[in-house]
Structure 1
Amino acid sequence: MFYPRGQICYSFSVDWWSLGVTAYELLRGRRPFHIHSSSAATDIVHVFHTATVTYPPAWSKEMVSLLHQLLDRNPEERFSCLKDIQNFPGLSHINWDAVLQKKLIPEFTPTKGRLNCDPTFELEEMILESKPLHKKKKRLAKRVKDNGKNRTALNGNLQKHLDTVERDFIVFNREKSKQDLIENQEELSEDQTKEEDGKNNNL
Protein backbone atom coordinates (compact mmCIF):
# COMPACT_ATOMS: atom_id res chain seq x y z
CA MET A 1 0.00 0.00 0.00
CA PHE A 2 3.03 2.28 0.24
CA TYR A 3 4.35 1.75 -3.27
CA PRO A 4 2.78 1.08 -6.69
CA ARG A 5 2.51 -2.44 -8.03
CA GLY A 6 5.69 -3.76 -9.60
CA GLN A 7 7.96 -1.82 -7.24
CA ILE A 8 9.76 -3.42 -4.31
CA CYS A 9 10.51 -0.33 -2.28
CA TYR A 10 8.96 2.98 -1.34
CA SER A 11 10.14 6.53 -1.99
CA PHE A 12 9.59 10.03 -0.64
CA SER A 13 5.92 9.77 -1.62
CA VAL A 14 5.26 7.85 1.61
CA ASP A 15 5.96 11.11 3.48
CA TRP A 16 2.69 12.50 2.14
CA TRP A 17 0.89 9.58 3.80
CA SER A 18 2.70 10.48 7.03
CA LEU A 19 1.59 14.09 6.58
CA GLY A 20 -2.02 12.92 6.38
CA VAL A 21 -1.67 10.87 9.56
CA THR A 22 0.00 13.76 11.39
CA ALA A 23 -2.58 16.32 10.22
CA TYR A 24 -5.43 14.04 11.31
CA GLU A 25 -3.88 13.55 14.75
CA LEU A 26 -3.28 17.28 15.19
CA LEU A 27 -6.90 18.06 14.35
CA ARG A 28 -8.59 15.26 16.28
CA GLY A 29 -6.14 14.44 19.06
CA ARG A 30 -5.80 10.80 18.05
CA ARG A 31 -4.55 8.80 15.10
CA PRO A 32 -6.78 7.79 12.20
CA PHE A 33 -5.90 4.13 12.77
CA HIS A 34 -6.18 2.23 16.04
CA ILE A 35 -2.62 0.91 16.35
CA HIS A 36 0.06 1.00 19.03
CA SER A 37 3.84 0.74 19.21
CA SER A 38 3.39 -2.85 20.41
CA SER A 39 1.13 -3.84 17.49
CA ALA A 40 2.51 -6.60 15.28
CA ALA A 41 3.38 -5.69 11.68
CA THR A 42 0.77 -8.12 10.34
CA ASP A 43 -1.91 -6.54 12.53
CA ILE A 44 -0.94 -3.05 11.35
CA VAL A 45 -1.16 -4.07 7.69
CA HIS A 46 -4.56 -5.66 8.37
CA VAL A 47 -5.81 -2.45 10.00
CA PHE A 48 -4.56 -0.33 7.10
CA HIS A 49 -6.42 -2.51 4.60
CA THR A 50 -9.67 -2.96 6.51
CA ALA A 51 -10.20 0.01 8.84
CA THR A 52 -12.37 2.94 7.79
CA VAL A 53 -11.11 6.41 8.67
CA THR A 54 -13.88 8.47 10.27
CA TYR A 55 -14.11 12.24 10.08
CA PRO A 56 -16.03 14.46 12.53
CA PRO A 57 -19.00 16.22 10.90
CA ALA A 58 -17.69 19.58 12.14
CA TRP A 59 -14.70 19.39 9.80
CA SER A 60 -14.96 21.27 6.53
CA LYS A 61 -15.53 19.36 3.30
CA GLU A 62 -12.24 20.67 1.95
CA MET A 63 -10.28 19.35 4.94
CA VAL A 64 -11.96 15.94 4.81
CA SER A 65 -11.33 15.71 1.08
CA LEU A 66 -7.65 16.63 1.50
CA LEU A 67 -7.11 14.09 4.29
CA HIS A 68 -8.97 11.47 2.28
CA GLN A 69 -6.58 12.03 -0.62
CA LEU A 70 -3.53 11.84 1.66
CA LEU A 71 -4.76 8.66 3.40
CA ASP A 72 -5.96 6.81 0.30
CA ARG A 73 -4.87 3.15 0.51
CA ASN A 74 -4.18 3.04 -3.22
CA PRO A 75 -0.72 4.58 -3.81
CA GLU A 76 -1.64 5.30 -7.43
CA GLU A 77 -4.62 7.40 -6.33
CA ARG A 78 -3.13 8.94 -3.19
CA PHE A 79 -1.53 12.39 -3.19
CA SER A 80 2.19 11.70 -3.50
CA CYS A 81 3.88 14.91 -4.60
CA LEU A 82 3.71 18.68 -4.18
CA LYS A 83 1.96 19.10 -7.52
CA ASP A 84 -0.99 17.06 -6.24
CA ILE A 85 -1.32 19.42 -3.27
CA GLN A 86 -0.96 22.52 -5.44
CA ASN A 87 -3.75 21.33 -7.75
CA PHE A 88 -6.12 20.59 -4.88
CA PRO A 89 -9.14 22.97 -5.22
CA GLY A 90 -9.34 23.61 -1.49
CA LEU A 91 -5.85 25.15 -1.56
CA SER A 92 -6.29 27.23 -4.71
CA HIS A 93 -6.11 30.46 -2.70
CA ILE A 94 -2.51 29.82 -1.66
CA ASN A 95 0.34 31.64 -3.42
CA TRP A 96 2.63 28.67 -3.94
CA ASP A 97 5.44 30.77 -5.41
CA ALA A 98 5.52 32.77 -2.18
CA VAL A 99 5.49 29.54 -0.19
CA LEU A 100 8.45 28.09 -2.07
CA GLN A 101 10.35 31.36 -1.72
CA LYS A 102 9.53 31.48 2.01
CA LYS A 103 7.94 34.90 1.69
CA LEU A 104 4.72 34.10 3.54
CA ILE A 105 4.46 35.27 7.13
CA PRO A 106 3.40 32.34 9.34
CA GLU A 107 0.26 32.79 11.42
CA PHE A 108 2.13 31.56 14.48
CA THR A 109 5.81 31.92 15.36
CA PRO A 110 7.07 30.04 18.45
CA THR A 111 8.82 32.09 21.11
CA LYS A 112 12.54 31.38 21.28
CA GLY A 113 12.87 32.36 24.92
CA ARG A 114 10.80 29.54 26.41
CA LEU A 115 9.81 25.92 25.92
CA ASN A 116 7.14 25.54 23.23
CA CYS A 117 6.08 22.01 24.07
CA ASP A 118 4.99 19.95 27.04
CA PRO A 119 8.14 18.55 28.77
CA THR A 120 6.16 15.37 29.42
CA PHE A 121 6.51 14.39 25.78
CA GLU A 122 10.27 14.93 25.94
CA LEU A 123 10.44 12.67 28.99
CA GLU A 124 8.23 10.01 27.40
CA GLU A 125 10.49 9.98 24.36
CA MET A 126 13.51 9.46 26.58
CA ILE A 127 11.83 6.61 28.45
CA LEU A 128 11.09 4.76 25.20
CA GLU A 129 14.70 4.95 23.98
CA SER A 130 17.16 2.24 24.98
CA LYS A 131 19.82 4.78 26.02
CA PRO A 132 17.83 7.96 26.54
CA LEU A 133 20.36 10.24 28.17
CA HIS A 134 23.15 9.15 25.86
CA LYS A 135 21.10 10.10 22.80
CA LYS A 136 19.71 13.26 24.38
CA LYS A 137 23.16 14.46 25.40
CA LYS A 138 24.45 13.89 21.88
CA ARG A 139 21.56 15.90 20.44
CA LEU A 140 22.06 18.71 22.93
CA ALA A 141 25.81 18.76 22.30
CA LYS A 142 25.24 18.99 18.56
CA ARG A 143 22.69 21.75 19.05
CA VAL A 144 25.12 23.77 21.17
CA LYS A 145 27.86 23.25 18.64
CA ASP A 146 25.67 24.27 15.70
CA ASN A 147 24.38 27.37 17.46
CA GLY A 148 27.76 28.31 18.89
CA LYS A 149 26.11 28.95 22.23
CA ASN A 150 26.34 27.44 25.67
CA ARG A 151 23.51 25.31 26.97
CA THR A 152 20.70 27.53 28.17
CA ALA A 153 19.12 27.39 31.61
CA LEU A 154 16.12 25.78 29.95
CA ASN A 155 18.19 22.88 28.67
CA GLY A 156 19.81 22.60 32.07
CA ASN A 157 16.39 22.31 33.69
CA LEU A 158 15.36 19.67 31.16
CA GLN A 159 18.57 17.77 31.85
CA LYS A 160 17.65 17.64 35.55
CA HIS A 161 14.36 16.00 34.60
CA LEU A 162 16.19 13.52 32.39
CA ASP A 163 18.61 12.68 35.18
CA THR A 164 15.62 12.00 37.42
CA VAL A 165 14.10 9.72 34.80
CA GLU A 166 17.32 7.73 34.45
CA ARG A 167 17.65 7.40 38.22
CA ASP A 168 14.05 6.57 39.12
CA PHE A 169 12.77 4.68 36.07
CA ILE A 170 13.96 1.40 34.61
CA VAL A 171 13.72 1.07 30.84
CA PHE A 172 11.22 -1.70 30.19
CA ASN A 173 11.54 -3.78 27.04
CA ARG A 174 8.35 -5.81 26.67
CA GLU A 175 9.72 -8.07 23.94
CA LYS A 176 12.95 -8.82 25.84
CA SER A 177 10.98 -9.56 29.01
CA LYS A 178 8.76 -11.97 27.09
CA GLN A 179 11.78 -13.69 25.53
CA ASP A 180 13.51 -14.01 28.91
CA LEU A 181 10.37 -15.63 30.35
CA ILE A 182 10.26 -18.16 27.51
CA GLU A 183 13.95 -18.99 27.94
CA ASN A 184 13.52 -19.44 31.70
CA GLN A 185 10.57 -21.76 31.13
CA GLU A 186 12.58 -23.79 28.62
CA GLU A 187 15.52 -24.09 31.04
CA LEU A 188 13.17 -25.15 33.83
CA SER A 189 11.60 -27.76 31.55
CA GLU A 190 15.04 -29.11 30.61
CA ASP A 191 16.07 -29.34 34.28
CA GLN A 192 12.89 -31.22 35.12
CA THR A 193 13.47 -33.62 32.22
CA LYS A 194 17.04 -34.30 33.36
CA GLU A 195 15.86 -34.85 36.92
CA GLU A 196 13.21 -37.33 35.76
CA ASP A 197 15.75 -39.14 33.56
CA GLY A 198 18.08 -39.41 36.55
CA LYS A 199 15.36 -40.94 38.68
CA ASN A 200 14.51 -43.44 35.95
CA ASN A 201 18.16 -44.48 35.66
CA ASN A 202 18.30 -45.18 39.39
CA LEU A 203 15.36 -47.57 39.21
Structure 2
Amino acid sequence: MNCGRSPLLNSPITNLYTTQVCIVQKHDTQKLYAMKYMNKAQCEAKDAVANVFREMQILASVSHPFLVNFWFSFQDTEDMFMVVDLLEGGDLRYHVSNGVAFSDDAVVLYVLEAACALDYLHSRHILHRDIKPDNMLLDDEGHVHLTDFNIAIELHEGQLATSMSGTKPYM
Protein backbone atom coordinates (compact mmCIF):
# COMPACT_ATOMS: atom_id res chain seq x y z
CA MET A 1 0.00 0.00 0.00
CA ASN A 2 1.17 3.49 -0.76
CA CYS A 3 0.24 6.31 1.57
CA GLY A 4 2.28 9.14 0.19
CA ARG A 5 2.96 9.48 -3.55
CA SER A 6 0.30 12.08 -4.26
CA PRO A 7 -1.55 14.76 -2.31
CA LEU A 8 -4.72 12.64 -2.46
CA LEU A 9 -2.97 9.77 -0.74
CA ASN A 10 -2.02 10.32 2.87
CA SER A 11 -4.89 12.76 3.29
CA PRO A 12 -6.95 11.84 6.33
CA ILE A 13 -10.62 11.16 5.78
CA THR A 14 -11.51 11.02 9.47
CA ASN A 15 -9.75 11.22 12.79
CA LEU A 16 -11.90 9.87 15.62
CA TYR A 17 -10.71 9.03 19.12
CA THR A 18 -8.44 6.02 18.61
CA THR A 19 -9.19 5.61 14.89
CA GLN A 20 -7.96 7.45 11.82
CA VAL A 21 -8.85 6.78 8.19
CA CYS A 22 -6.79 7.74 5.15
CA ILE A 23 -6.80 7.00 1.43
CA VAL A 24 -4.23 4.46 0.26
CA GLN A 25 -3.29 2.96 -3.09
CA LYS A 26 -2.45 -0.69 -3.77
CA HIS A 27 0.84 -0.86 -5.67
CA ASP A 28 0.06 -3.62 -8.15
CA THR A 29 -3.43 -2.46 -9.19
CA GLN A 30 -3.25 1.29 -8.44
CA LYS A 31 -6.70 0.89 -6.88
CA LEU A 32 -7.62 3.30 -4.08
CA TYR A 33 -8.93 2.08 -0.72
CA ALA A 34 -9.76 3.53 2.66
CA MET A 35 -7.38 2.39 5.38
CA LYS A 36 -8.58 2.57 8.96
CA TYR A 37 -5.80 2.50 11.50
CA MET A 38 -5.93 2.30 15.26
CA ASN A 39 -3.14 2.84 17.76
CA LYS A 40 -2.68 -0.34 19.81
CA ALA A 41 -1.80 1.43 23.08
CA GLN A 42 -4.85 3.71 22.83
CA CYS A 43 -7.10 0.76 22.01
CA GLU A 44 -5.74 -1.15 25.01
CA ALA A 45 -6.19 1.89 27.29
CA LYS A 46 -9.82 2.21 26.17
CA ASP A 47 -10.39 -1.56 26.35
CA ALA A 48 -11.29 -1.52 22.65
CA VAL A 49 -9.02 -4.24 21.23
CA ALA A 50 -11.83 -6.82 21.27
CA ASN A 51 -14.04 -4.38 19.32
CA VAL A 52 -11.38 -4.01 16.62
CA PHE A 53 -11.03 -7.76 16.15
CA ARG A 54 -14.79 -8.29 16.27
CA GLU A 55 -15.27 -5.61 13.59
CA MET A 56 -12.73 -7.30 11.32
CA GLN A 57 -14.26 -10.73 11.94
CA ILE A 58 -17.78 -9.52 11.17
CA LEU A 59 -16.76 -7.58 8.05
CA ALA A 60 -14.75 -10.56 6.76
CA SER A 61 -17.81 -12.79 7.17
CA VAL A 62 -20.35 -10.67 5.28
CA SER A 63 -20.91 -9.73 1.67
CA HIS A 64 -23.72 -7.44 0.60
CA PRO A 65 -24.03 -4.65 -1.98
CA PHE A 66 -24.93 -2.09 0.71
CA LEU A 67 -22.18 -2.93 3.19
CA VAL A 68 -18.61 -1.69 2.99
CA ASN A 69 -16.27 -4.44 1.74
CA PHE A 70 -13.38 -5.56 3.95
CA TRP A 71 -10.27 -6.44 1.95
CA PHE A 72 -7.51 -7.23 4.43
CA SER A 73 -5.85 -6.23 7.67
CA PHE A 74 -2.35 -6.11 9.07
CA GLN A 75 -0.44 -4.64 11.98
CA ASP A 76 2.91 -3.21 12.94
CA THR A 77 4.39 -2.60 16.37
CA GLU A 78 2.24 0.49 17.03
CA ASP A 79 -0.94 0.23 14.98
CA MET A 80 -3.59 -2.12 13.61
CA PHE A 81 -4.74 -1.48 10.02
CA MET A 82 -7.94 -2.43 8.22
CA VAL A 83 -8.37 -1.86 4.47
CA VAL A 84 -11.91 -1.38 3.14
CA ASP A 85 -13.64 0.10 0.10
CA LEU A 86 -13.05 3.78 -0.56
CA LEU A 87 -16.53 5.27 -0.88
CA GLU A 88 -15.93 8.73 -2.26
CA GLY A 89 -19.48 10.05 -2.00
CA GLY A 90 -19.03 11.01 1.65
CA ASP A 91 -21.26 10.18 4.58
CA LEU A 92 -24.85 11.33 4.92
CA ARG A 93 -24.04 13.50 7.94
CA TYR A 94 -21.53 15.49 5.88
CA HIS A 95 -24.10 16.16 3.19
CA VAL A 96 -26.91 17.09 5.58
CA SER A 97 -24.66 19.36 7.66
CA ASN A 98 -23.61 21.12 4.45
CA GLY A 99 -27.19 21.90 3.52
CA VAL A 100 -27.75 19.25 0.85
CA ALA A 101 -31.48 18.78 0.30
CA PHE A 102 -31.91 15.23 -0.97
CA SER A 103 -34.86 14.54 -3.24
CA ASP A 104 -37.68 12.39 -1.90
CA ASP A 105 -36.62 9.62 -4.29
CA ALA A 106 -33.04 9.72 -2.98
CA VAL A 107 -34.23 9.52 0.63
CA VAL A 108 -36.46 6.53 -0.19
CA LEU A 109 -33.53 4.85 -1.95
CA TYR A 110 -31.19 5.41 1.02
CA VAL A 111 -33.75 4.08 3.50
CA LEU A 112 -34.47 1.00 1.37
CA GLU A 113 -30.79 0.24 0.81
CA ALA A 114 -30.00 0.62 4.52
CA ALA A 115 -33.00 -1.57 5.37
CA CYS A 116 -31.79 -4.25 2.92
CA ALA A 117 -28.34 -4.18 4.52
CA LEU A 118 -29.81 -4.42 8.02
CA ASP A 119 -32.13 -7.25 6.98
CA TYR A 120 -29.12 -9.15 5.62
CA LEU A 121 -27.14 -8.54 8.83
CA HIS A 122 -30.05 -9.59 11.02
CA SER A 123 -30.53 -12.77 8.95
CA ARG A 124 -26.95 -13.59 9.97
CA HIS A 125 -27.64 -12.67 13.63
CA ILE A 126 -25.47 -9.54 13.45
CA LEU A 127 -26.56 -6.33 15.17
CA HIS A 128 -24.81 -3.18 13.91
CA ARG A 129 -25.85 -1.07 16.95
CA ASP A 130 -24.61 2.27 15.58
CA ILE A 131 -26.85 3.23 12.68
CA LYS A 132 -26.50 6.96 12.09
CA PRO A 133 -25.83 9.28 9.13
CA ASP A 134 -22.07 9.24 9.86
CA ASN A 135 -21.99 5.47 9.22
CA MET A 136 -23.88 5.57 5.93
CA LEU A 137 -21.43 6.26 3.11
CA LEU A 138 -22.34 6.98 -0.50
CA ASP A 139 -20.51 5.41 -3.41
CA ASP A 140 -19.85 7.20 -6.70
CA GLU A 141 -23.22 6.03 -8.05
CA GLY A 142 -25.15 7.37 -5.05
CA HIS A 143 -25.81 4.09 -3.25
CA VAL A 144 -25.62 3.76 0.55
CA HIS A 145 -23.13 1.44 2.24
CA LEU A 146 -23.19 0.79 5.99
CA THR A 147 -19.81 1.04 7.68
CA ASP A 148 -18.23 1.22 11.13
CA PHE A 149 -18.93 -2.13 12.77
CA ASN A 150 -16.75 -1.47 15.83
CA ILE A 151 -19.62 -1.99 18.30
CA ALA A 152 -21.52 -4.57 16.25
CA ILE A 153 -22.18 -7.95 17.81
CA GLU A 154 -22.93 -11.39 16.45
CA LEU A 155 -25.49 -13.36 18.42
CA HIS A 156 -25.87 -17.13 18.54
CA GLU A 157 -29.14 -18.70 17.39
CA GLY A 158 -31.83 -17.80 19.94
CA GLN A 159 -29.55 -15.50 21.94
CA LEU A 160 -30.85 -12.08 22.92
CA ALA A 161 -28.75 -8.93 23.18
CA THR A 162 -28.32 -8.07 26.84
CA SER A 163 -26.58 -4.70 26.59
CA MET A 164 -27.26 -1.39 24.93
CA SER A 165 -24.65 0.30 22.82
CA GLY A 166 -24.58 3.06 20.25
CA THR A 167 -24.24 6.79 19.84
CA LYS A 168 -26.46 8.43 22.47
CA PRO A 169 -28.18 11.06 20.28
CA TYR A 170 -29.32 8.28 17.91
CA MET A 171 -30.50 5.79 20.55
User: Which has a greater percent of strand?
Assistant: 2
User: Which has a greater percent of helix?
Assistant: 1
Give the greater-gyration-radius structure (CA). Answer: 1
Q: Shared fold (TM-score greater than 0.5)?
A: no
State the TM-score, normalizing by the size of structure 2.
0.24
Whose relative contact order is higher, 1 or 2, with alpha carbons under 8 Å and at least 6 apart?
A: 2
